[in-house]
Amino acid sequence: MAPLQPGQQPTPEQMRQMQMQIAAEARKAGLSVPQYIERVKQQAMQQHQQRMQMQQQMQQQQQAAQSQGQPGGAQPGQQVPIQPGPPKPEALAVAKFLRGQNLKLRTCIFQEKRKDMFKVKRAIRALHSPAYEKARKKNPLLPEVKDRVTAENTFKLLPMSLLALRVSKIDPHEGHNHAKKKRVKGLWTVKVEPQQEASDEYYYVWLYEGSQWKNKLYAVLALLGILTVVFFPVWPYYLRLGVWYLSMAMLGLLGLFFAMAIFRLILFVVTMFATPPGLWLFPNLFEDVGFFDSFKPLWAWHEDEKAIKRRKKAERERKKAKREARGGGKTEGGEKGEPKSSGKAAAKSEDTTATKTQQPAPLEDAPTAAAIQVSGVVAGEHQGLSPRVEEVEDD
């Protein structure tokens, strides 16, 4: 019978020959066919276990030889398989030290979670720093770092204990038919690389989160809060009464807020037809500002997009003129030896005089005075329409 090739299906004749051969070998062994098949399976399992034990012994011998030849890990350029398990104490010590150093961390998306990412060269630099030598005196678990090779071996303790892994940038929407979504600048989506090398330009992502006592404390506080709410019926009477008064006060404030929002809308609609362009009460109420700034100013006229653009342009011109005046005052003060405050005061007084009096200036200062006068007129035109922005910016 010709031997079967890998993936080749036996013919019916070959199947019959194989069955006859198995039956003949079972008769020679004095066993039935099922008993003979079970014994063959047991022998195959024993051989497989022996091979696995031999491989483990060889790996242990290689690791022992490597640790004797070079303490701290594998030879440079040699691949060492990462075995899942509890991290080594030395790796934890290195991770705690590097976590406390300024590695200029970046935020990345790893397995749909935000993680901290750093560059290898900054970690190697931290291992060569005097801070690492001081930490070694306090913590003897930290390996000794003498040169680049020992620094790389010390750093490789992190991926070998699954405390940090080398990653590379990927496009999460690659191969999709939909349009590319807007990506946040500097926020990478990364994947793990199979080769965990320690070159300077590579990036590693932290899987070691450090001490989790804060998260545990927050979890305990959340649990206590839930239990406190659940046991509300057994609270003392005065506490339940206080909570009731507090909830009524909060509901009253919420109702007052909605009433004010409806009233300001009605006021705007009425004034939009009576005295265009319309008047807003608390114009910053729904703007993205602070709590107290939401109620400043008390009122303001409505502005369309064109008026907002004109106002912003006038404000930019006014600020630019102020900067030029201040710069000119500082330059003149530096040349003449005068203090900076006198230059600023002179610039402010010049701006005030040119804006209020609007007197004709000499020919040499005509462009600056005209620019200040125009910006003052434009700002004066919009002063009644946009007190809201002026006061918010002053605050």
Rounded CA-CA distance 134/123 in Å is 16
Name the packing angle between helices 89-99 and 120-127 (round to 10°). Answer: 100
- Full-model pTM: 0.42
Q: What is the reported pLDDT for 340?
A: 43
CA quadruple 8, 9, 15, 17: dihedral, nearest 10: -20
Q: Do the beta carbons of residue 99 and residue 135 sit within 8 Å?
A: no
Which domains, and CATH codes, for the chain? 89-173+184-210 (1.10.10), 212-276 (no CATH), 303-394 (no CATH)
Rounded CA-CA distance 101/125 in Å is 10
Tokens of 382: 């919009």
188: helix, coil or strand?
A: strand
331: helix, coil or strand?
A: helix
Over its length of 395 residues, how does the chain's per-residue pLDDT go in tens digits?
556 666 667 788 888 888 888 888 888 888 888 888 888 888 888 888 888 888 887 777 776 665 544 444 445 445 555 565 688 899 999 999 999 999 999 999 998 889 999 999 999 999 999 999 999 999 999 999 999 999 999 999 999 888 999 999 888 777 666 656 656 666 889 999 988 888 899 999 999 987 778 889 999 999 999 999 999 999 999 999 999 999 999 999 999 999 999 999 999 999 989 888 888 888 888 888 888 888 888 888 887 778 778 878 888 898 899 888 888 765 555 444 444 444 444 444 444 444 443 444 444 444 443 333 434 433 444 444 444 433 444 43
Rounded CA-CA distance 191/187 in Å is 13
DSSP 4-33: PPTTPPPPHHHHHHHHHHHHHHHHHHT--H
Tokens of 219: 């979890």
My answer on whether omega of the bond before 277 falls inside 30° of 0, hence cis, is yes
Rg (CA), the chain: 39
